[in-house]
Amino acid sequence: MLNYHSYETFSTQDWPWIRMVFFLQGCPFRCLYCQNPDTISTDKNKHISKEKILKLVYKEREYIKDGWVTFSWWECLLQIKELIPVLKLLKENWFHTCLDTNGFILNDDVKEALKYTDHVLPDIKWITPLLHEKVTWTSNMTSLDFIRYIDEQWMNYWIRYVVVPWLTDNEVDIKKVWEFIQTLKNFQKINLLKYHTMAVSKRKELWREYPLKWIPAAWDEDIQKVKRILSKYTNPDTIEW
């Protein structure tokens, strides 16, 4: 049984194709700019079986037939043992599977789950280790190793990068992201996501004095700025937003 937060049957957000998304519960990160703080706690328990997931996916198959069944938020790898049979079952029924993850864990179970995964959406929260720890309260070492691993396995993946004005949109950091990407053999795309402020009130429950209250939501111009910087190093066709 997977511990989940909710699911969305027709998601086109942050992704070019229609997908059905299951949002799992529990995250070891504490991103200052978390957009889903109510999914962090592992105390909340709402369970769903693989059979129920398959039934729900079948119900929506007309819409998602060219799309994907995605397991998201964060960290879906925390439930990797429960996720393996779900992914297997979906693949046996010819559905595309996708993991939207921070790559927080890289062990034999994760490697097994990746055998039944068609696409991965790994995040780079912050490329500089020290700043990553300050912003997410966790190290990015395994997350970067996770990307290196799926790259070595020639898996399909898009790297995701949240554009937070004044924090992650500067030339120095973006150049470092690109330097990391350059070490990969099978890089396909980087997917820029807009930071938004919709969850600020929920975040205030986590941080009494909310540290990013002075940061505005990202606009198209902010994304364009990051795209311009990245375009100095890579083909603009590899930048998605």
Q: Which is nearer to ligand SF4, 27 or 229 (CB)?
A: 27
Name the pairing type of β-strands 239-240 and 47-48. Answer: unpaired
Q: Least distance in Å: CB of 26 to ligand SF4?
A: 9
Q: Which is nearer to ligand SF4, 57 or 124 (CB)?
A: 124
Answer yes or no: are the C-beta atoms of 158 and 152 closer than 8 Å. no
Residue 197 neighbours by CB distance under 10 Å: 15
Q: Which is nearer to ligand SF4, 64 or 103 (CB)?
A: 103
Give dist(CA 8, CA 23) in Å, integer.
Answer: 8
Give dist(CA 207, CA 240) in Å, integer.
Answer: 32
Give dist(CA 170, CA 232) in Å, integer.
Answer: 14
Q: Which is nearer to ligand SF4, 5 or 50 (CB)?
A: 5
> In angstroms, how far is the first alpha carbon of the chain from the final one?
34
Q: Least distance in Å: CB of 142 to ligand SF4?
A: 13
> Among all chains, which residue has been given the structure tokens 């097994």?
112
Q: Which is nearer to ligand SF4, 35 or 168 (CB)?
A: 35
Q: Least distance in Å: CB of 63 to ligand SF4?
A: 26
Q: Least distance in Å: CB of 123 to ligand SF4?
A: 7
> Among all chains, which residue has been given the structure tokens 């205030």?
204
Instruction: State the residues that interact with ligand SF4 by CB under 6 A.
Output: 27, 29-31, 34-36, 39-40, 73-74, 102
Q: Least distance in Å: CB of 190 to ligand SF4?
A: 18
Q: Least distance in Å: CB of 42 to ligand SF4?
A: 12
Q: Which is nearer to ligand SF4, 77 or 230 (CB)?
A: 77
Answer yes or no: are the C-beta atoms of 75 and 102 closer than 8 Å. yes
Q: Which is nearer to ligand SF4, 19 or 125 (CB)?
A: 125
Q: Report which residue type is found at 150.
A: I
Q: Least distance in Å: CB of 162 to ligand SF4?
A: 8
Answer yes or no: are the C-beta atoms of 120 and 154 closer than 8 Å. no
Cα–Cα nearest to 194, from 225, 173, 172: 225
